[in-house]
């Protein structure tokens, strides 16, 4: 009887679909689908949290950098990141957030820079922008810091 029960439970466990992994930082939670992975799990350095995701095909990467702004205004934060990414044009404000485009290793990218009080978030999509935006809309959530997520 016990053996039949054990076999039954084993078969039932195999029938349950695999659950997606959750990747969380202090600011966001990502319900990671099977076709995406965290290529850089959440890491913190001097109060700034970074996490990077890419899809299985490797043609879309989404990066989140979040932390204290050190007293800088949002435009200054956006200009600093635009300079780091070697953007050819300065950041443009849209809906209370800044955005800029860049090219990295011959791959197009776009960043959104948002702020909330003393916190900033830079969200960057490199590669297939449409896939990256869909990933963010569907799988990235934040209760307390939702206003830091890009406004598309």
In this predicted structure, the answer to whether residue 4 has a pLDDT above a threshold of 50 is no
pLDDT per residue as tens digits for the range 48-96: 999 999 999 999 999 999 999 999 999 999 999 999 999 999 999 999 9
Instruction: Indicate the pairing of strand 97-104 with strand 107-116.
Output: antiparallel
**Contact between 91 and 113 (Cβ < 8 Å):** yes
How far apart are the C-alpha atoms of 60 and 134, rounded to whole Å?
A: 11
Order of all β-strands in the sheet with 107-116:
36-45, 48-55, 60-68, 119-127, 107-116, 97-104, 92-94
pLDDT per residue as tens digits for the range 11-61: 333 333 344 589 999 999 999 999 999 999 999 999 999 999 999 999 999
Band of residue 147 on the pLDDT scale cut at 50, 70, 90 = very high
Element (DSSP H or E) covering residue 132: helix 129-139
pLDDT at 152: 78
Give the burial string for 118-134 (b: 16+ CB within 10 Å, else e): ebbbbbbbbbbeebbbe
Q: Between 77 and 9, where is the model more confident?
A: 77
Band of residue 132 on the pLDDT scale cut at 50, 70, 90 = very high
> Three-state SS for 142?
coil
pLDDT at 19: 43
pTM: 0.85
């Amino acid at each position: 009887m016990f053996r039949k029960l054990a076999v039954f439970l084993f078969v039932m466990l195999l029938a349950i679909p695999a659950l997606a992994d959750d990747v969380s930082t202090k600011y966001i939670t990502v319900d990671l689908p099977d076709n995406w992975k965290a290529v850089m799990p959440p890491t913190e350095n001097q109060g700034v949290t970074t996490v990077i995701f890419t899809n299985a095909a490797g043609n879309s990467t989404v990066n989140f950098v979040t932390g204290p702004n050190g007293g800088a205004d949002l435009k200054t934060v956006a200009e600093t990141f635009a300079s780091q990414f070697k953007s050819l044009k300065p950041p443009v404000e849209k809906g209370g957030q800044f955005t800029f485009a860049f090219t990295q290793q011959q791959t197009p990218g776009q960043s959104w820079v948002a702020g909330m009080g003393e916190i900033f978030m830079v969200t960057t999509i490199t590669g297939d922008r449409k896939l990256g935006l869909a990933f963010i809309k569907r799988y990235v959530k934040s209760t307390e810091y939702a206003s830091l997520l890009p406004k598309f």
